[in-house]
C-alpha cells in the first residue's frame, strides 16, 4: 500500500493527465502564420514582415527591396532575390522582375532551352549547325534543337538549305561538265568548244609569238649597235 502511494506523486500525476488529455494544438488560418502561441496575419505579396504581431498589435510589413520579390502572402522577413538571366547560360530577359513576380528568362536568338522550369528557362544551348552535305530537316525553336539530315546521291546542300538540291545537268542546255557535283557543291558546266579552242589555239600561237619577239629584239639590238658605231665615228 505504501509502495503505491510513492508512485502517485504530483509530478507523476501531471504526466499521466497530459498523456490522457493531450494539450490543444494551435491551428492558424491560411492567411495567418504562427509565431509562438500567436497566429499573426501574413504580409501581402510584394512585401515582407517587419514586426510580428503580439497580443496588442498586428503584423507590420515592409515592401520588398529592389531586386527582390514575394509572389504570395507570407510570414517571412526577407523577400526572394530576383533570378538573373545569364548570357553565359544562353539566356535573356523575357519579363523583368517586379516586387510580386520573379524574372522570366528565355533563350537567346539561335539557342534552345535545355532546362525548362514551367514557363521559365534556367539554361540554354546553341542550335546545331548543319554541315555542307546536310540540309535542315527541322528548324530549331526556343525549346527544340535543329535537326540535320544527309543529302542523298545526286543532290547537294551547303548546310543552309531546307532541302537538298539536285545537281545541274550540263547536257540539258548543251554544256560540257567541267567538275562533277558532290554532296556539298553543285556541278560546274562550261561551253563545249571553249576547252577545245583553248587547247588548239595556245600551241599554234606560241611559236608565232616567239618569232615576232625574236624579230623585234633583233632590230632593236641592230639599231642600238648602229647608234653606238655612229657615235664612235663622230668622236674620231
pLDDT digit string (tens) for 148-189?
A: 999 999 999 999 999 999 999 999 999 999 999 999 999 999
Pick the residue with more confidence: 135 or 222? Answer: 135
Return the pLDDT at 232: 55
Using the Cα atoms of residue 130, residue 136, residue 138 and residue 142 in order, give the sign of their dihedral: positive
Chain centroid to Cα 159, Å, comes to 19
DSSP per-residue letters across the chain: -HHHHHH--HHHHHHHHHHHSPPPPP---TTEEEETTEEEEPBPTTEEEEE---SS---EEEEPPTTEE--S-B--SSPEEPPP--GGGTEEEEE---SSS--EEEEPTTEEESSEETTEES-EEEPPPPPTTEEEEE---SSS--EEEEPPTTEE--S--SSPEEPP-GGGGT-EEEE---SSS--EEE-HHHHHHHHHHHHHHHHHHHHHHHHHHHHHHHHHHHHHHHHHHHH-
Lowest mean pLDDT among 142-156, 177-191, 203-217: 203-217
Give per-residue pLDDT as tens, 118-130.
889 999 999 999 9
For residue 211, name the pLDDT band (cuts at 50, 70, 90): confident
> What is the rounded CA–CA span in Å between residue 52 and residue 50?
7
Q: What percentage of the chain has pLDDT greater than the value 90?
A: 65
Mean pLDDT for the stretch of residues 198-206: 50
Mean pLDDT for the stretch of residues 64-93: 97
Over 70: is that where the pLDDT of 143 sits? Answer: yes
Model-wide pTM > 0.85: no
Cell numbers representing residue 93 in the block = 530577359
> What is the rounded CA–CA span in Å between residue 149 and residue 136?
7
Instruction: Calculate the average pLDDT of the chain.
Output: 83
Q: What are the distances in angstroms from CA 198 to CA 1, 87, 155, 170, 202?
A: 135, 58, 31, 20, 6
C-alpha dihedral, 41 to 47 to 52 to 55, nearest 10°: -40
Judge contact between 168 and 187, C-beta under 8 A.
Answer: yes
CA atoms within 13 A on the CB side of 214: 6
Over 90: is that where the pLDDT of 104 sits? Answer: yes
Amino acid at each position: 500500500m505504501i509502495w503505491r502511494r510513492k508512485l502517485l506523486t504530483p509530478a507523476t500525476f501531471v504526466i499521466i493527465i497530459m498523456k490522457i488529455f493531450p494539450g490543444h494544438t494551435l491551428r492558424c488560418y491560411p492567411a495567418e502564420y504562427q509565431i509562438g502561441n500567436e497566429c499573426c496575419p501574413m504580409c501581402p505579396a510584394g512585401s515582407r514582415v517587419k514586426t510580428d504581431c503580439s497580443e496588442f498589435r498586428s503584423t507590420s510589413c515592409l515592401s520588398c527591396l529592389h531586386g527582390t520579390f514575394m509572389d504570395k502572402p507570407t510570414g517571412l522577413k526577407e523577400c526572394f532575390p530576383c533570378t538573373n538571366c545569364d548570357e553565359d547560360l544562353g539566356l535573356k530577359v523575357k519579363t523583368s522582375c517586379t516586387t510580386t513576380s520573379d524574372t522570366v528568362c528565355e533563350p537567346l536568338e539561335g539557342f534552345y532551352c535545355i532546362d525548362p522550369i514551367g514557363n521559365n528557362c534556367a539554361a540554354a544551348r546553341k542550335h546545331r549547325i548543319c554541315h555542307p552535305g546536310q540540309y535542315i530537316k527541322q528548324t530549331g525553336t526556343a525549346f527544340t534543337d535543329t535537326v540535320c539530315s544527309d543529302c542523298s546521291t545526286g543532290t547537294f546542300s551547303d548546310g543552309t538549305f531546307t532541302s537538298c538540291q539536285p545537281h545541274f545537268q550540263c547536257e540539258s542546255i548543251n554544256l560540257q561538265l567541267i567538275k562533277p557535283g558532290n554532296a556539298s557543291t553543285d556541278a560546274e558546266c562550261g561551253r563545249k568548244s571553249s576547252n577545245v579552242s583553248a587547247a588548239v589555239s595556245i600551241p599554234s600561237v606560241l611559236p608565232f609569238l616567239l618569232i615576232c619577239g625574236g624579230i623585234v629584239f633583233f632590230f632593236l639590238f641592230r639599231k642600238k649597235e648602229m647608234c653606238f658605231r655612229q657615235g664612235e665615228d663622230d668622236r674620231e
